[in-house]
Amino acid sequence: MKKVISFLSIITFLFFITACGQESDPRTVYKDFNQALNSMTSFTDKSIDTYLTKRAIVQKTKGATALDNLNKDQRKVVERMGLAMLKNTTTWIDLEEAKLEQTEKTAILSTKVINKTGGDTETNTVQINFVKEGGWKIDSLIKASETKGKSGDSKMSEALFRD
C-alpha cells in the first residue's frame, strides 16, 4: 500500500511540474487579456499589465500620465472614451476564425470582418502583435477600417500601445 501511495505521489508531483511548465500560446494570452480588459474601469488599473510587454506598459503609462493635465471631469470623460475604444478594438477578434502567424519570438493574431450595409462595404482588420518576453506578451494592437460605397471612401487606423 505504501508503494502505491508513493507511486501516486510521484505521478502527481510530475504532473504538476509539467503542467506548470507549459507556456500559454498567443490565443490564450489574448483571451486572458481580453477578460482582464473587460473588468477594467480605469487606465491606471494594472490588471492587463501581466499580458503586455514592458514597452507596451510604458506606452499605457504615458497615456495615463497625459490625463494628469486634465481636471477631474475632463479626465473621467477622456478615460471612459479611451477605455471604450480599447475594449471596442479587442471585440473584433474572433479567436476561432483569427489567423495566427507565429515564429520563435513573435506572433501576429489577425482577423478581418466585412460588413455590408446598403451600398457600403466596411472592412475592419484587427492585428495583435505578440513578443516572447518571459512568455507571450501583447506588444501592440492595430485596428484598420476601410469603407467603400455610396457615401464615399474612407480609411481609418487606430494603434494602441505604439510609440
**DSSP letter at 105?**
S
* 84 vs 101, residue with greater confidence: 101
Q: Global pTM?
A: 0.72
- For 161: left if phi > 0, alpha if psi spans -120 to 50, otherwise beta; the answer is left
- Are 62 and 44 spatial neighbours (Cβ–Cβ below 8 Å)? no
What's at 6, amino acid-wise? S
Would you tell me the crossing angle of helices 72-90 and 26-38 to the nearest 10 degrees? 150
> Which domain covers residue 47, as residue numbers?
26-160
Cα–Cα nearest to 129, from 145, 148, 146, 143? 143
Does 88 map to a domain? yes
Q: What is the pLDDT of residue 17?
A: 40
At 155, the pLDDT band (50, 70, 90 cuts) reads confident
**Hunting for cell 473584433 — which residue is that?**
92
Does 82 map to a domain? yes
Q: What is the pLDDT of residue 104?
A: 92
Report the chain's mean pLDDT, rounded to a whole number. Answer: 78
| Alpha-carbon gap, residue 42 to 60, rounded angstroms | 11
Does 89 map to a domain? yes
Does 17 map to a domain? no
User: For the chain, what is the domain count?
Assistant: 1
Query: What is the percent of the chain where pLDDT is above 70?
Result: 81
